[in-house]
Amino acid sequence: MILDQESWMNLRRFRALHQAGATYKEIAEATGLDWRTVKKYLQQDAPVTPPKASSRKGTQPQVIESYVNVIDAMLRAERAITASTIHERLVAEYGFTHSYQRVKLYVARARPRIAAEHDGDAEGGGRERLRGLHRRFEVTPGAQAQVDWGEEGALLAGRSTGGKVYSFHMTLSYSRDPFCLFTARTDLVTFFDCHRRAFAHFGGVPATIVYDRTKTIVKRHVAPGTAVPLHPEAAAFAAHYGFTIDPLAAYRPTGKGRVERQVAIVREHVLAGRSFATLDEVNAAFATWLPIRRGQVHRTHGQMIAVRAQQDRAALLPLPELPYVVADHHLRRVGKDCLISCEASLYSVPAARIRAGQRVQVRACADTIAIHALDVDGGGVLAVHARAPRRGSCMVDPAHWVGLPDGHTRATCLDPTPAGRPTGGPGSHRPDSNSGGNSAVAGEPNPLAALLAGNPAAATVVARRPLSDYDKAALLPVWDQEAQP
Residue 380 or residue 317, greater confidence: 317
Q: How far is CA 307 from CA 172, 393, 400, 477, in A?
A: 13, 47, 56, 127
Q: How far apart are CA 475 and CA 478, in angstroms?
A: 9
In 3-state terms the chain splits into helix, strand, coil percentages (rounded to 5) of 40, 15, 45
First to last CA, the chain: 133
CB atoms within 10 A of CB 394: 10
Q: Using one digit for the tens of pLDDT, what is the confidence trace for 438-474?
A: 444 555 666 667 666 767 766 777 777 787 877 777 7
| Residue 440, pLDDT score | 47
Residue 62 or residue 429, greater confidence: 62
Please report, as a single letter, which amino acid is at residue 142. Answer: G
User: At residue 383, does pLDDT exceed 80?
Assistant: yes
DSSP conformation class of 248: P
Report, as an integer, the average pLDDT of 327-349: 90
Which residues have a Cβ under 8 Å from the Cβ of 445 and sit 6 or more positions away? 414, 415, 416, 417, 423, 424
Q: Using one digit for the tens of pLDDT, what is the confidence trace for 280-302?
A: 999 999 999 999 999 999 998 99
User: At residue 344, does pLDDT exceed 90?
Assistant: no
| Residue 198, pLDDT score | 96
| Residue 417, pLDDT score | 55
Q: Using one digit for the tens of pLDDT, what is the confidence trace for 46-59?
A: 776 777 766 666 66
pTM for the complete prediction? 0.56
H or E segment to which residue 468 belongs = helix 468-475
Among 447, 443, 448, 441, CA closest to 423: 443
| Residue 128, pLDDT score | 56
Among 460, 410, 421, 467, CA closest to 444: 421
- How far out from the chain centre does Cα 418 lie? 69
Q: How far is CA 262 from CA 150, 167, 416, in A?
A: 10, 11, 82
User: At residue 421, does pLDDT exceed 70?
Assistant: no
User: At residue 199, does pLDDT exceed 60?
Assistant: yes
| Residue 375, pLDDT score | 81
| Residue 11, pLDDT score | 79
User: At residue 239, does pLDDT exceed 90?
Assistant: yes
| Residue 127, pLDDT score | 57
DSSP conformation class of 381: E
Percentage of the chain lying above the pLDDT 70 cut: 81
User: At residue 6, does pLDDT exceed 60?
Assistant: yes
Residue 438 or residue 156, greater confidence: 156
23: helix, strand or coil = coil
